[in-house]
Structures are given as C-alpha cells and as structure tokens.
Chains A and B, each alone.
Chain A
Amino acid sequence: MTRTALSGWGRTSTSYADVLSPNNESEIALTFATSRDVIARGLGRSYGDAALSSGGVVLSNRELSGIGPIGADGVVTVGAGVSLDELLAQSIPRGWFVPVTTGTRQVTMGGAVAADVHGKNHHVDGSIARHVLSLRLVTPSGPVTVSPEIDAELFWATFGAMGLTGVLTSVTLRLTAIETNQVLVDTDRLANLDAVMSAMALGDRDYRYSVAWVDCMSRGKHMGRAILTRGAHATKDDLDASSLSSPKDAKLFVPFDAPSGLLNPLTVRAFNELWFRSAPRHEEREPQSLSTFFHPLDGVRDWNRLYGRRGFLQYQFCVPDRSSETVVAAVDLLSSSKVASFLAVLKRFGPANEGPLSFPLEGWTLALDIPVGPSKLPDILDRLDELVIEAGGRVYLAKDSRLSPEKFAAMYPRRSEFLAVKERIDPEHQMSSDLARRLDLVGK
C-alpha cells in the first residue's frame, strides 16, 4: 500500500501514513483488529502533528457524516466528520448557532471535541465540552457511548486528548438559539497591552463574545496596542431587516506557495500598522455578519500557503488570572526578539472543565502565528514555555508542534490520570499520533 503524505495546518513537516475513510463503526473496529499507531483526522486544521501518524494508519472521519433533526431544545446529533460549516448551513436558517465556534468553520465536530475547542465566548459559555450531551466513539476495546453520566471518566478524558481515546463517530450537543444572522459589535482601539487587559478584565462580563487582536511587533509605550471587539447576537428588534441566511464559501484563495520570506518582520510590521490604523477608535453596536465576526479566517481559502514552503506555527498559551503579568512578559519577549508575528489573539477564559487534558483555565490566553525560519526561534519559544510553566499555565495541543515531553508534563499535571484512562480502553497502545509519540502520551 502506498502511503499518503499529510501535514498539519502549519505545514512544518510532512508525514506519511496509510489513510482510510471508514464509513461505519465496524470498519473502524476492523482497523483496530489489524493495525497499530491509529489516529483519526478531520479537516487537518490542527497546526502541528496531532492528526499525523508516521508509518501508521490515519482514519479520515469525513465519511462519518449525517446531521440529525434539531430538537425544539436545540439538541442535535451529528456525525463526527460533519464540519461546522456543514452544520451551520443547516442550523442557521432554522435559528440555531453552534454554542462554541473556532475562528474557522472548516473543522469537524470530531476534531472540535478532540481539541475541546473554545471561542470568543469562553468566559461566559466555556468550551465545547459544556454543550456536549454525549459522545459515540470506537475505542480499541470496542464502541461505546459516553456522557457525564455514562463512563464520565472516558467522556471527560476525550476532551482535549487530540483523538487519543478512540475514533469519534458522532456527537450529541445542544445548539444556541439565534434570531438573526448578525452580531452587534463594539470596537475599541487601545494604545497598549495594559489598556486592553484592563478593559477586558473590567468589561468582558457584559459581553457574550470578546476578543482582542494585539500587535506584538510595536515597541515602547505602544507595546501590545490592540483592537478589542466585543458583541452579542442581534435580536430581531435590534435590526431594521433581519435574515437567517447561512454563510457563503470563500471567494478568495491562495493558488500556490508564497516564497518563504514573504512574511518577514518588515512586511508583517507594515501589515500590522495598516490594520491597526484602519480600525475605528471607538464604535458601538455595529451589525456584522456571523462569518465576518466569527470566521475571519474563512475569507481566504488555503491562507496557510502565505507562509511558504517552510510553514509556520502557532503558539497559544493560557495563564491563570494571578499571572496576568506573564502575558505582558510574553509580548515583551516576542517584540524585543523581533520575531515576525502577525496580530496575536488575546482572550479571557472562564473556569476550566473536568477534562484532564482540556486546555482552557480561568484567566488569559494569547495565540500567535509565527513563520518558521529564524534560527533563534526554537530557543525563544522554549523560554516562553518556561514563563508559562512558572505562571501555572499551559500551551494548547491543537496548535503545538514543538513542545518537549517534560514541559508538557509540567503544564498538564493530570497527565497520569489521562494515561490511566487510556490504558483501560487501549491496553495494547494502538491509539497513537506523531504528537502522542513526541509528548510521550502513547502509554507504556
């Protein structure tokens, strides 16, 4: 069998595996009967090596499709391979939105659960786990349905485990009711990081959705200048004319790999400047479409190619509230080392959930895209890891491609609890991925 070349969204490395697309549970069970190093993969939006298994078997979940009827209470069962885009196309016209959404609609429900994704509303609504009623997954020991009532241990271990507890086949979740396809957005331009952090700490509780885009390349008194956008779903009364049409596909795309040096400190700085100046100083209740507000990344298809052949990585960490100065230290470290970084995303997190490998914890999260290239970058990120560990924080596995196993263990102190669950459902250690091997999460 010829192996298929795969990579993560950051395209930093190519991995070869046998790729199968099972369309039912018995086909997945059959794979476990004959194969090792098995991992599920959705639309490949995790940035690093979470959905890669070199020399192993990668199970595409895209044939596990199907969207059930949406109940009057918003409860729906969808196949793990259904993308948010596909689900929203069905649900928005009926007045339902996903309870949590990533910055792109191009993720599958299975992937969303595996990463325990969060959105701009984490400080109010938590991560996707809070809205999931039950999961169906095929483990190496067989298919199971899990929920907070049935095998709660496995249910919670699955959120944030990046697919290592089995192959998800369907997800039952509760959607959020909406009256229109618009969001009313307040925008503020803030001169530096202190200003934006205090605005968020004081005001975020009044908004369901909140996010700030931070410029990590400006220095001095403008270090960490930011644009803060916050909003809530518009009701019918808020708008003169309302509609519930679903989002459109991207019209723009990147047809080929850009040269690797295209995104360098100079061009990124220019972009950040332009972008910062084009935002209004202060604006209230501006109606924006759901896709403009929630899915800015979907405007340009294959945008990851802008980073060229070498690829890029995303560094996303969270720290508890008591360590908010770590956010400042991180932005300072990045801006002083002149690593080219596009606008970073700053958000507040609400309380953590019960998942031993779930990423969010109450406090702050910062995410930045960085092109791979500068030889000092690995050391800079290793230093960031240390800052994050000292602060009692962690990095997000859905974005990670370079963490060491020791630092992972320091960031996720409940690692052994997770491994105990994995040992129970996967005694032969058949579930694995390049990320699992890198972070020592396969089991021994």
Chain B
Amino acid sequence: MENAFGQPQTLIVLGGTSDIARGLTKKLAAARTHTVVLAGRSQSLLDEASQEATTYGAATVDTVVFDANDVTDAGRVVSECFDKVDDTVDLVVVAIGLMGDQFEKEDDATLAGEVATVNFSWPVAALAETRRRLVAQGSGRILVISSVAAVRVRRSLYLYGGAKAGLDRLCQGMADSLEGTGVRLQLVRPGVVRTRMAEGLPKVPFTTDVDEAVENILKGLANGDPVIWSPPILRYVFMILRHVPRSLWRKVMDR
C-alpha cells in the first residue's frame, strides 16, 4: 500500500529498461518499494535493470519479456506482471517509447506504422488491462510517460510526437474515467532528457538529465499533479508555444 507521501511499496514498469524508468525504479526502491516487476524487450537489459533495483533495496524483482509491436500480447503481459506482484499493486509506470530517425521512417509504411504501434497502440492495450485490474482492486496509480512533443507536434518529429499526442489525449480522458474508483492516472510530459533514446536530437533549451527528470516525477507523485512537467517551467513555456502561429512554429522548432 502506498503511504502518505505517495511512495509505493509495489511497482510494475512497462518499458522497465528505459533510462527514465530505471532512474525512477532506483529511487522508489531506495524509499519504500519492496516488490518490482520490470517488463521490457531485452532479457539482458532487464537483468541489468533488476540487478540495479535489488542493489537499491527492492526485496523481490521479477521480469517479463515482451514485444511492443504485438498489440494482441499486451493484455497477457500486464496480467503476468500483476500475477507476479501477487499483492496490492500500488504503481504501474508506462514508459514505452520508440523514437528513431524520423526522416528514415516517414515515407516507409512499415516503419511509420511501427512508431505508432509502439508509442500508442501497445500502451493503449496495456492500459486497458491495467485499468481493469486496478479498478477491481480499488486503489493504485498509473503513471504514463508522455512527452512535450505531444503538446504541439512538430515537423521533424511528427511520427513520435503524433503517436504520443494520441496517447496523451487518451490518457486525459482515462484519468477522468477513473474519478471515484480509487485509481489515479498521472501524465508525465518531460522535455528533452539526456537518454539513449534522445541521442542525436538537436540541443534545445530546458534539456534535463535523467536524475533531474526523475526528481520532478517523484515530486509529482507526492503531490498528485494530474500532469507532471519536467522541468516544471515547461508548463508555462508551452502555454505560449501552443499558440504560436504555425509559420513561426515551423521556423523556431524546425530550424
């Protein structure tokens, strides 16, 4: 059961090998999280991440391997994670993302479709099963890692940004659907974070490192913000950027 500070005791991470997910898992394990289930694409990376969680204090760490291209498998993956926790599930983090090089993918039906599947369709399927299980349980939180790229989609990242935008909007509706169930959904909108996924992105203002992003997420978990921005100032930056005329937006964001 999570405590008054929103520190969970049990944790499921879908996309548990991403840099942000690993940073968050470490911090949570160091606080109160004793049971962790990490789901990801590569068993060797999962083993590395679970070793890390154990080092930071988790008593039980389990892993589940999945392929985020296979939407029909998402329900099975989530079920398996819940069964492995075998206790009240306090927090489910959805940290699945695929970026890659937009220009290689934008005219390729298969690769473009893959970006949409991994960033949108698979998480939506996984969220459906997560929602069902947590509502039945009557408590718990869902933390979905979206992106500032979802707030206003830009030319050079429209596949990733567009898919995240779909997920971001869908989650706002899902969060409202959870009112009165005891379950909460919180969105995280990080700016550019210095991670493996973001390698090769152009330098932009308000870039953070992983630790800083994790600190912002932990604060959001503690105070229950429905949308967690990292760094927090991006909330205000995007209030303006959202309304910049398109011609200017293209010039500024896609130099």
Which residues of A does B touch, CB under 8 Å? Answer: 2-3, 5, 10, 12-17, 48-49, 54-56, 310-311, 313, 372-373, 375, 377-378, 401-405, 434-435, 437-438
Contacts and interface: CB of A to CB of B under 8 A. Distances in A.
B3 A438 contact: yes
A438 B6 CA distance: 12
Interface stretch (B133-141, B195-203, B237-245): B133-141
B4 A12 contact: yes
Nearest to B135: A55
B88 A437 contact: yes
Given A3-B182, A16-B182, A311-B4, A375 B139 contact: no
A273 B3 CA distance: 32
A13 B4 contact: yes
Nearest to B137: A55
Contact of B1 (A2, A5, A14, A49): A49
B60 to A, nearest CB: 13
B84 interface: no
Given A16-B139, A54-B138, A3 B180 contact: yes
A372 B4 contact: yes
Nearest to A404: B32
Contact of A5 (B5, B136, B180): B180
Given A3-B182, A402-B3, A438-B9, A15 B219 contact: no
Given A2-B180, A12-B4, A378 B138 contact: no
B138 A16 contact: yes
Contacts of A56: 138
B42 interface: no
B4 A48 contact: yes
A377 B5 contact: yes
A300 to B, nearest CB: 23
Given A54-B138, A311-B4, A435-B1, 4 more contacts: A13-B6, A378-B5, A404-B32, A438-B9
Interface string B78-91: 00000000011000
10 closest pairs, A vs B, by CB?
A55-B138, A54-B139, A16-B182, A401-B4, A12-B4, A438-B1, A437-B1, A402-B3, A54-B138, A378-B5
Size band of the interface chain B makes with A = 20 to 34
A52 to B, nearest CB: 9
Contacts of A313: 4
Interface string B6-20: 110100000000000
B2 interface: yes
28 contacts: A3-B181, A3-B182, A5-B180, A10-B4, A13-B2, A13-B4, A14-B182, A15-B139, A16-B181, A48-B4, A49-B1, A49-B4, A54-B1, A54-B88, A54-B137, A54-B138, A54-B139, A55-B138, A55-B139, A56-B138, A310-B223, A373-B223, A375-B218, A378-B5, A434-B139, A438-B1, A438-B2, A438-B9
A3 B5 contact: no
A15 B182 contact: yes
A17 B32 contact: no
Contacts of B222: 372, 375, 378
Contacts of A14: 182
Contacts of B137: 54-55
Contacts of B180: 2-3, 5, 16
Nearest to A14: B182
Nearest to A17: B138
Interface string B46-83: 00000000000000000000000000000000000000
A49 B5 CA distance: 12
A434 to B, nearest CB: 5
Contacts of A438: 1-3, 9
B31 interface: yes
Contacts of B5: 12, 372, 377-378, 402
Contacts of B181: 3, 16
Given A3-B181, A375-B222, A401-B4, A55 B136 contact: yes
B87 to A, nearest CB: 8
B225 to A, nearest CB: 11
Contacts of A373: 223
B224 to A, nearest CB: 8
A378 B139 CA distance: 22
Nearest to A377: B5
